[in-house]
Amino acid sequence: MNIQAIQTFLTVVRMRNLNRAAEELNITQSAVTARLDSLDRALGAELLNRSRKGATLTKAGYAFIDRAEVIVSAWSGARAQANLPQGVTRLFSFVCAPALWPGLGQRWIEEVRVGHTETATEVWAGLAEDARRWLQSGLSDAALLSEPMIGPEVESRLFASDKLVQYSTQPREVMRWDPGYVFVDYGPDFRSWHAEVWPGDETASMAFSTPDWAFSYLAKHGGSAYLPEQMVSDLSATTTLYPVGGAVDFTRRSFLSWRKASERSFPWLAPQVS
Considering the domain architecture, whether residues 183 and 240 belong to the same structural domain is answered as yes
Confidence of residue 274 (pLDDT cuts 50, 70, 90): very low
Per-residue model confidence (pLDDT) at position 42: 82
Any domain includes 68 = yes
| Burial track 196-228 (b if 16+ CB lie within 10 A, e otherwise) | eebeeeeebeeebebbbbbbebbeeeebbbbbb
Residues 214-225: pLDDT tens digits?
999 999 999 999
What is the pLDDT confidence band of residue 167, given thresholds at 50, 70 and 90?
Answer: very high
Q: Please tell me the total count of domains within the chain.
A: 3
Average pLDDT over residues 179-195: 91
126-156 pLDDT, tens digit per residue, is: 888 888 888 877 778 999 999 999 888 899 9
15: in domain: yes
Same domain membership, residue 145 and residue 261: yes
Tell me whether residue 274 is in a domain: no
> Are both 264 and 147 inside the same structural domain?
yes
CATH number of residue 258's parent domain: 3.40.190.10
- Whether residues 247 and 166 share a domain: the answer is yes
The answer to whether residue 241 is domain-embedded is: yes
Kindly report the CATH number assigned to the domain that includes residue 65: 1.10.10.10
- Residue 251 predicted with pLDDT over 90: yes
pLDDT at 220: 94
Question: If you average pLDDT over residues 42-64, what whole number do you get?
Answer: 89
> Of the candidates 169, 199, 196, 166, which has an alpha carbon nearest to the alpha carbon of residue 183?
166
Query: What value does the mean pLDDT of the chain take?
Result: 88
Across-strand partners of 160?
A: 254
Given 79, 113, 141, which residue is the final one in a domain?
A: 79
Whether residue 263 sits in one domain with residue 185:
no
State whether 128 and 236 are in the same domain: no
Q: Is 152 in the same domain as 199? A: no
147 and 38 in a common domain: no
For residue 118, the Cα-to-chain-centroid distance in whole angstroms is 24
Question: Of the candidates 34, 57, 79, which is a domain's last residue?
Answer: 79
Percent of the chain with pLDDT over 70: 93
pLDDT band with cut points at 50, 70 and 90 for residue 26? confident
- DSSP letters spanning 214-240: HHHHHHHH--EEEEEHHHHHHTTTT--
* 86 domain-assigned: yes
**Residue 106, domain extent:** 82-159+254-269
Check if the beta carbon of residue 243 is closer than 8 Å to that of residue 166.
yes
Residue 35 lies in a domain: yes
Question: Which DSSP helix (H) or strand (E) runs through 184?
Answer: strand 181-184
Could you tell me how many residues make up the chain?
274
- Does one domain contain both 259 and 129? yes
**H-type alpha helices, the chain:** 3-15, 18-25, 29-43, 59-82, 106-115, 128-137, 188-197, 211-221, 229-234
Give pTM, 2 decimals.
0.67
pLDDT of 78 strictly over 90: no
Beta bridge mates, 154: 259
203 and 222 co-located in one domain: yes
Q: Are residues 265 and 133 in the same domain?
A: yes
One domain, residues 130 and 243 = no
In a domain, residue 179? The reply is: yes
